[in-house]
Amino acid sequence: MTNPRVHEIATAMLDAVRKVLVQQEVTEAEYRAGVMYMMQVAEAKEMGLLCDVFLNSTIVEIKAAATRGSAPAIQGPYFKEEAPFVDGKLKTYDSDDHKPLLLHGSVKDEAGRVVTDAVIDIWHSTPDGRYSGFGGYHGDMPVDYYRGKVRTDAQGRWRVQTTLPAPYQIPNKGPTGALLTMMGSHTWRPAHVHFKVRKDGFEALTTQYYFEGGEWVDSDCCNGVKPELVMPAAMEQGMQAMALDFVIEKSRA
């Protein structure tokens, strides 16, 4: 059965690709190498990674253009729905290189009214760039480390203490990393903290914030950094701090 939306998008995508093939005078050998590359991507199970690295930020931009709320950002692969509610502090490991980070702010709607009882998921890497709950390269950290949920209070405010995350590399041993290298790029993401803000009756806000002056902020391999998501360094109570006032918009449905 014809699907008009698929027909429209697939036809436009193929037209765009064909134009590039012609413009670049791509040879039979280059075409075959490209096909072989896509087969390697599939074999390495990196199709999701490849698409997310190069295209997810564009999908986010489409969403950003239509929202009256705070700027969204890519979710990335390390969100865990089962992260527990925490009481003011994320679980972290004790280590000399752990520097405290205070995160706090508010949630309001697009008319500036406070939003109480909004649930904010917060997740970020360890000081050595790993995420809990994934095993393998990330180690055997339980899922309740470096992530958790907080709720806004009667004034729409929230607050949590944790440790500073670090820049990390996306999986770089496979064909996605190889392509980035051949393109003269790299596989690093700047240090960041992820947020997902949810409340019944509102559009969910998925975003992430970066640290001004941080390594790779100017050349994120996932192209996910926007000026409004880069926060200046601030100190509060002897800790590095980030103050974030989220705006979420009423559901359109």
Please state, in angstroms and rounded to a whole number, the distance separating the CA atoms of residues 106 and 118.
Answer: 10
Question: Residue 158 CA to chain centroid, in angstroms?
Answer: 21
- Rg of the chain, C-alpha, whole Å: 20
Least Cβ distance, residue 57 to Fe ion (angstroms): 13
3-state secondary structure 37-49: HHHHHHHCCCHHH
3-class DSSP state for residue 176?
A: helix
Rounded to a whole number of angstroms, the minimum distance from the CB of residue 76 to Fe ion is: 5
CB 143 within 8 A of CB 175: no
Whether the Cβ atoms of residue 179 and residue 211 lie closer than 8 Å to each other: no
Contact status, residue 108 vs residue 114, Cβ threshold 8 Å: yes
Residue nearest Fe ion (C-beta atom): 76
Query: Smallest distance, Å, CB 46 to Fe ion?
Result: 17
Distances from the Cα of 135 to the Cαs of 30, 124, 140, in angstroms?
A: 37, 15, 5
CB of 50 to Fe ion, least distance (A): 17
Q: Which is nearer to Fe ion, 108 or 194 (CB)?
A: 194
Q: Which helix (H) or strand (E) is 120 found in, with range? A: strand 119-124
Indicate the residue among 60 and 115 with the shorter CB distance to Fe ion: 60
What is the nearest approach in angstroms of Fe ion to the Cβ of residue 128? 13
Shortest gap between Cβ of 247 and Fe ion (angstroms)? 22
Q: Which is nearer to Fe ion, 76 or 177 (CB)?
A: 76
By C-beta, is 69 or 76 nearer to Fe ion?
A: 76
Nearer to Fe ion, 76 or 127 (CB): 76
Interface with Fe ion by CB under 5 A: which residues?
A: 76
DSSP string, 181-226: HHTT---EE--EEEEEEE-TTB--EEEEEEETT-TTTTS-TT----
Nearer to Fe ion, 50 or 74 (CB): 74
